[in-house]
Structure 1
Amino acid sequence: MESNDSQDSHFGDFLRINKAEDIYKQMFKLSLLPIIIHDMEMNIIDVNKAALDEFGYSYEEIRAIKVYDLHSESEIKHSEEVLNVMKQENIVSTETSFRRKDGSEFFAEVTPCKYLLENKPIIHVYIKNITERKHNEEKLFDALEKAKENERLKAAFLANMSHEIRTPLNSVFGFSTLLNEENITDSDKKRYASIIASSSSHLLYLINDLIDISKIDAGQIKVVNTTFELHSVLKSLYSIYHSLLISKNKYDIHLKLNLPGEENYIISDETRLRQILFNLLGNALKFTETGSIEFGYAIEDDNLNFFVKDTGIGIPEDSKESIFNRFEQGRKSIGKIYGGTGLGLAIAKSCVQLLDGKIWFESEVNVGTSFFFKIKYKQGEPVPGNNKTNTNGRIGFNNELILVAEDDEFNYDYLDTLLKGFNLRVVRTITGKDTIKEALSNDDLSLILMDIQMPEKNGLEATEEILKHKPKLPIIAQTAYAFQGDREKCLRAGCVDYISKPIERSELLKLIRKNIYIR
């Protein structure tokens, strides 16, 4: 028979308990969960060590306060309700918030148990800290709400885009068809052509907005600082919008310039600055029916402070926080009235941030809106040859031969039509291999318009091959792609310049005049 000493050796790590009730005392004392025992008046009778560690009080301190004092301010207000719950027959677990001695708060799940001690009711409360779980639940809830909102915005955006695209497309398709009808007058032809051009421009703006927001999301827009004439940018924008307003017999637009002479040459990203102003002016034009639009800039604390002010419908208070959000417009129904993608202001804000600037606005309903943004003023030196004479395309060419590398029949017809009547000869190739062959065999070529996406060999491969043998032959890349890096890829391949589709006649003729090889 095994001795008691032998038995004790097997259980040397066990806590020795002599009475059954001591088991419960030890459970109370050693529990990892905080436990508080209190009476119906919320006087604290006893607590375990875990409770002291959680709340940060000494045993004497916590015995001197009531359970109410352990709750956060918001829970103290409901103390009577808590007491009434405690008096109910069936008490279930509930969630509440507590406040520690140092003032910090935490969420907890409390499970109370009712006992009678010497015929007096007491409450034995288990406390489980669930702060991390609550925070995770809040994050999950916020994520679900954001997902729902994104779905709502996506649905609204798709519906709006369908309308925005189909409306001008209907005009393009419809009036293009009408141009082929017999007995159509010259006056009607001009009017139809004008409508087609206007609707096509609108479609281009929509596509550019979508491309721009995609490039911003992908981080593909990089700041490229150059020296340029600020007034030239502002005056060109003024000319565009002034002509547009005059043609519609609407209100006028005013431009304010503040830098004299050479001081208006600045160092910044001209494309991004033009994009910001273009979107802000387009927004002002859209929402202003009467009065005027004014834009310009002022210098303050080494900053260029730009402004675009209008006398339009204004922005209601409940929409001001979301006005820069994507696919949002000042009123939920505003897109139905005024159209647009709801991307313009989001793009403007992103571009301002890319320039390390700040954008804000002031607005009053039915009075107008003023948008402001500021960027650092860095003065640049005038660029020699920057003041070019205006090109009308009818002088400067002397029957030079241009090779147009273009595989699309309609695009070639368009380019060929653009260049007719300007004393230029045009020859066409369809594939990259044919382009190389024609360029290397024809010594009369003065310039190549190179489409980047062609069969057999692409435009960049063809350019590199041609320039190995004819390094002085100017090649201008023409492409339907419009993402960050496309221009750089073309220049690295050896192209002297780059033009994106759709191509405007004036821009094309400028590039040809600038780069054509004169023997």
Structure 2
Amino acid sequence: MDYSFFSGLIQNVALLLVFSFLYATRWIDSTHSKKLMPNIFAGVIVGGIGILLMFTPWTYQPGHYFDLRSILLAIAGLYLGAVPTIIAILITAGYRLFVGGNFVVTGVGLIIISGLLGIGWRYIQQRRGGKNSIVSLYLFGVVVHVCMMLLPILFPADGSLDVKFMALPVIIIYPVITVLLGALMNRQLENWKNRKAQERLYESEQRFTKMMLNINMVFINIDLNNTITFCNKYLLSITGYTEEELIGKNTVDIFFPVDEKENTVEGLRQLFKNKEDIHHFESKILTKDQRELFISWHNSIIVDDFGKVKGIASLGENITEKIATLEKLKEAKEKAEESNRLKSVFLQNISHEVRTPLNAIMGAISLLKLPSVDKQMREKYYEVLELSGARLLSTVNDLIDISQVETQQIKVNKTNFNLSQILANHVNVATPIAGKKNNKIMCTSKYFHTQTVLHTDKEMLSSIFINLLSNANKFTTDGTIEIGSRDEQGDIVFYIKDNGIGIPENRLEVIFDRFVQADSSLSRPHEGSGLGLSIARAYAKMLGGELWVESEERKGSTFFFNIPKDEVTLATSGTSKEESEVLLLPNQKILIAEDDKLNYLILKKIIENMGVTNILHAKNGEGAVEMVRDDKEISLVLMDIKMPKMSGEEATLQIRTFNPTIPIIAQTAFAMPGDRERFIEIGCNDYIPKPIDKKVLIKLLHKYLNPSSKDFTRTL
């Protein structure tokens, strides 16, 4: 069985249904209007459907193909009218001429006749006032397709076509499909007429009743004397008045503020005089308790049967909440714009804080290469490198810290430590830095001289002190910076007081924002990312306290923060010998796995200063694994994590398969929360982040190498 007969016929019918759907949803209105463009557009779409019908013919017998373009164009003429149908005829006929082949004249003639017959039949039906009944549609379908059968007879030179062969599908199938499609169009047309009738009825009712039906809006009637003659419940509910308190009263006296009474009276007088409706008029009204409400009014003049003005019917929308929302959106927009501006300033500052030390580092390196540099200048350049590197590292650390705070990756790690040692360390470190600006550091806290041991996060507490001392020193010159404290309700309240430039009152809170400094201009004389105070406040909150500031311009600032006084035991003072001395490590063999040559040379120099002369170097993980496997005398491995060919993680895992005891210390730039635990979990004994702190590295080496003698010492 040739299924192309059914598939083609079904596809053609489906396209006719699409045409019917578009008629019902898009074109009925346009066919009953005088607008040209919708009718032109409908004609283009119908022409497109006609082309698609020719694309999907159905096979009656091999070599004989039919489509339903004649039904499409005939029905289009009958229901859409002349303009869309003529456009569809031109498009479909044009495409048929373009395709060419046999029966071109017959095909084009069929397209033209079908459309014109539809237009003519529509005209006759309208003149007679008749409807497209089933009988009428069937007769119409027969007429159209009898003409279709006559075309091969009239144009025999166009090709040989057996008219008898065409008779069965044309006389039986085509009129039936025409009737079915026409019936569907009739139903859609009838539904449209019913819907339009309902809409007209609804609109008619709305003209007289819409004011009363909109109970969720203010409705009020006033007469020529501005006296209230009617009001609805919604107005009573939002204003707090009763009906007795409003009916018969002057609306201007009751509802309008004093400063708007005169304008309101004049506006109503003009409204009555000109007999005009005023729409979208907004005003304020007062409630019984003198709250202001914003109302958007729609006013209509009320006239009697003789056209004489009787009063005004006013429908009002309560837009108080909308106004408030718009104000909030405006405020949010302004905040967003300010935030974007501050972010731009922040990025400019960060770029400055990164590029400035990098410029100094690169410049110092290039100058060190000059052969004419003497020892004194070389020392100066070394100092530039050290200071610029420290500044760059501080900026990077600030960015990492604030990122960890934002993403809540950092955790509080409480330990026991001597508070006086912490204070002493910060005084000792801050004193030479402050001296460069002729500032003096002093500590008046009683804990500076006691042996109080606290149980809290030592690193977070130190970070708060560092950021506050750095901030005080940054904005103070030739002054004094005081570290003090007081006890208050189970907390220790620390403060850092300076007599620097102070902070404007309008910036006392915003300085703690992440993208703000006290001076955010490009000409600010102070370096720094502007993240220190934000980090300090975040850490203070994580430790269970708060951080705040008191300041006065040109008189200085005092930053306070409190933490719970979780006191443990008394600690002993003094510094152990191991903290002031470096024990030499002779007779040790250390493997440095590091692909960066400069980092390797730095590590090698630190280890050589400890008396280690036997140092091996692996440039990747594969080399490290082979060296540990082949050399049983290696005492310890300093393992970089990110290396070519094989990473430090994979190298550590492989080494642990054949040597579970050798100490492996991960030395890496991966310094985010959780990295230390991850590296220890894969088999590393310990971890040190880059840039390498020499003192920390020395302690780790002593921890795992356990020198047999303490006779070899070198003072730091």
* Residue 45 (str. 1) matches residue 229 (str. 2): yes
Aligned partner letter, 1:61 = E
Aligned partner letter, 2:297 = V
Conserved 8 A contact 2:413-2:456: yes
User: What is the 5 A alignment of 1:207-218?
Assistant: 207-218=396-407
Partner of 2:540: 352
Partner of 1:337: 525
Equivalent of 2:626 in 408, 413, 437: 437
**Aligned-pair CA distance for 1:187:** 1.0
CA shift digits 1:478-514 (9 cap, x unpaired):
1112222222222333433322111122222122222
CA shift digits 1:35-84 (9 cap, x unpaired):
11224665322113443455454432332665457759xx5543333333
- For structure 1, the residue ranges without an aligned partner over 5 or more in a row are 1-13, 15-20
* Residue 82 (str. 1) matches residue 264 (str. 2): yes
Structure 1: distance between partners of 2:249 and 2:637: 90
Partner of 2:354: 165
* Residue 251 (str. 1) matches residue 439 (str. 2): yes
CA shift digits 1:328-347 (9 cap, x unpaired):
22234376211222211111
Q: Which moved more, 1:29-38 or 1:47-56?
A: 47-56
* Residue 109 (str. 1) matches residue 296 (str. 2): yes
Structure 2: distance between partners of 1:218 and 1:150: 19
Aligned partner letter, 2:362 = F
Q: Which moved more, 1:100-109 or 1:333-342?
A: 100-109
* Residue 195 (str. 1) matches residue 377 (str. 2): no
CA shift digits 1:132-186 (9 cap, x unpaired):
5434433432332223112211222222222222222221111111111123221
Structure 2: distance between partners of 1:135 and 1:472: 70
Partner of 2:41: none
Gap change, CA 1:350 and 1:313, over 3 Å in 2:
same
Conserved 8 A contact 1:290-1:311: no
Equivalent of 1:495 in 681, 684, 708: 684
| Other structure's SS at 2:559 match | strand
Gap change, CA 1:125 and 1:411, over 3 Å in 2:
same
With structure 1 as the length reference, what TM-score do the two structures score? 0.86
Structure 2: distance between partners of 1:334 and 1:390: 47
Aligned partner letter, 2:441 = I
User: What is the 5 A alignment of 1:13-412?
Assistant: 26-32=209-215, 33-39=217-223, 42-55=226-239, 57-63=241-247, 66-67=250-251, 75=257, 77-89=259-271, 91-98=278-285, 107-115=294-302, 122-246=311-435, 248=436, 250-259=438-447, 264-333=452-521, 336-381=524-569, 388-391=576-579, 394-412=582-600
Q: Which moved more, 1:218-227 or 1:62-71?
A: 62-71
**Aligned-pair CA distance for 1:360:** 0.9
Q: Which moved more, 1:420-429 or 1:255-264?
A: 255-264
Higher RCO (CA-CA < 8 Å; seq separation 6+): 1
Partner of 1:463: 652
| Other structure's SS at 2:356 match | helix
Structure 2: distance between partners of 1:83 and 1:485: 73
| Other structure's SS at 1:508 match | helix
Q: Which has the higher strand share?
A: 1
**Aligned-pair CA distance for 1:125:** 1.6
| Other structure's SS at 1:79 match | helix
Partner of 2:54: none
**Aligned-pair CA distance for 1:26:** 4.3
Q: Which has the higher helix share?
A: 2
**Aligned-pair CA distance for 1:408:** 1.3
Structure 1: distance between partners of 2:205 and 2:583: 109
Gap change, CA 1:88 and 1:233, over 3 Å in 2:
farther
Aligned partner letter, 1:457 = M
**Aligned-pair CA distance for 1:220:** 1.6
Determine what percentage of the aligned residue pairs are the same residue. 34
CA shift digits 1:238-293 (9 cap, x unpaired):
221112233x2612101234238885221111221111111111111110011111
Gap change, CA 1:67 and 1:388, over 3 Å in 2:
farther
With structure 2 as the length reference, what TM-score do the two structures score? 0.63
**Aligned-pair CA distance for 1:126:** 0.9
Q: Which moved more, 1:34-43 or 1:384-393?
A: 384-393
Structure 2: distance between partners of 1:352 and 1:310: 20
Larger Rg: 2
Structure 2: distance between partners of 1:449 and 1:223: 28
| Other structure's SS at 2:577 match | coil
Partner of 1:515: 704
Structure 2: distance between partners of 1:258 and 1:384: 16
Gap change, CA 1:250 and 1:384, over 3 Å in 2:
closer
Structure 2: distance between partners of 1:444 and 1:207: 39
Conserved 8 A contact 2:452-2:571: no
- For structure 2, the residue ranges without an aligned partner over 5 or more in a row are 1-197, 199-203, 709-716
CA shift digits 1:5-40 (9 cap, x unpaired):
xxxxxxxxx9xxxxxx99866444333332112246
Conserved 8 A contact 1:401-1:426: yes
CA RMSD of aligned residues (A): 3.2
**Aligned-pair CA distance for 1:356:** 2.5
Partner of 1:9: none
CA shift digits 1:83-108 (9 cap, x unpaired):
33333456342334556568876543
Name the count of aligned residue pairs. Answer: 498
Gap change, CA 1:398 and 1:471, over 3 Å in 2:
same
Aligned partner letter, 2:235 = A
Gap change, CA 1:259 and 1:241, over 3 Å in 2:
closer
**Aligned-pair CA distance for 1:323:** 1.6
Structure 2: distance between partners of 1:87 and 1:205: 73
Q: Which moved more, 1:43-52 or 1:267-276?
A: 43-52
Partner of 2:127: none
